[in-house]
Amino acid sequence: MSLTVAAVPLPGSPDITRNASRIRAALAEVAARRARLAVFPEGALSGYAKADLGTPEVWAGYDFALHDRELASIAAACRELGVYAALGGVRRVGGRPPLNAVYVLSDRGEPVAVYGKRRLSHTELEGWYTPGRAPAVVRIDGWRFGIAVCIEVQFHELFAAYESMGVDGVLFPSAGFGPSFSTSLQAHAGLCGLWIAAAAPMAAGVAGPDGSWMAFGDAPCAVSLDRGDPRFHVALELARPWRREARKGDIYRVG
C-alpha cells in the first residue's frame, strides 16, 4: 500500500492564531492533493525560540491555553479533511521550560504522539526548552515513522536507532535548512534505507530510501511512498536486510 506524504514549508511567527490559520489552510491544500500525512516545521504553531519569540522570558507570559485551543482546532481540521498532521509546538512540563514538541494528530482529530526534541543546542538549553527523553514512533495506514527535529540531523545514531526499530521513515520538522542539512538528510536516508519528510520555514522535501530527493523546494510538495517502487529495490530489499545481518556478525563467522 502506498502513502502520500506532504512536506509543507511555513514561516513561523509569535502569533499563535495566525500560525494555526496557516496550518489549517495548508492542510486543506495538501488534502486536496490526496495527502494522508502533512509535515510542518519546528515551532509551526508556537513560534520557534529566539527566531520568533525574542527571549526565554516570553514563557512567563506565554498563552499556553491559546496554543492548546489552536492545536485542538488543527486536530478538528484533520478530522474534517481525513488527514494526519505532524507539526511543531510546545508542551508544558511543570515549572520548567516547555518541550520543543512535535505533535502528530490523526485523521480522527486525536493526538497519537508527542515527541520532545532530545538533542537541544546550547542556546535552546538557556531557558528556552527542556530536552525530551525518548524516541517516538507513529503508525499511519500500515506505515511506521520516527521523529527527529532540526539540529538532531547531526546525530546519525538517532536515525540508525529508528532503522533498528523497523520504521519506514522519519518525519523531520526543522526551524532551518542549510546546505549541510540537505546533505545530511540524504545521507541518513541512504545509509538507513528510510524515507525522510522534512519541513522548514523556507524549504521542504521528501528524500527516498536511496538517499535521493524525490521532491524538494520552497512550496508544499506531495509524494507517494511505495515500498514496491523499483527505484528502491536495492535500498529496501537488499541493502537494509544485509545491514541488519552484518551488524549481528553471524555472516562473517567462519567454521
Residue 235 lies in a domain: no
Does residue 111 contact residue 78 with C-beta atoms inside 8 Å? no
Residue type, 111: P
Q: Under DSSP, is residue 53 helix (H, G, I), strand (E, B) or coil? A: helix
Number of Cβ within 10 Å of residue 202's Cβ equals 11
Residue 10 lies in a domain: yes
For the chain, the distance separating the N- and C-terminal CA atoms, rounded to the nearest angstrom, is 42
The CATH number of the domain where 21 resides is what?
3.60.110.10
Residue type, 8: V
Please give the grid coordinates belonging to residue 46: 508556537
pLDDT digits (tens, 9 = 90+) for 133-166: 999 999 999 999 999 999 999 999 999 999 999 9
Task: Tell which residue, 177, 240, 243, 238, has the closest CA to residue 213.
Answer: 177
What is the band of 11 on the pLDDT scale with cuts at 50, 70, 90? very high
* Side-chain-side CA neighbours of residue 224 (13 Å): 8
pLDDT of residue 178: 87
pLDDT of residue 165: 98
Distance set, CA 11 to CA 42, 87, 184, 187, 255 (Å): 10, 12, 22, 26, 59
Residue 233 lies in a domain: no
Q: Which domain holds residue 173?
A: 3-226
* Side-chain-side CA neighbours of residue 53 (13 Å): 24
* 255 has pLDDT over 70: no
Residue 36 lies in a domain: yes
Residue 238 lies in a domain: no
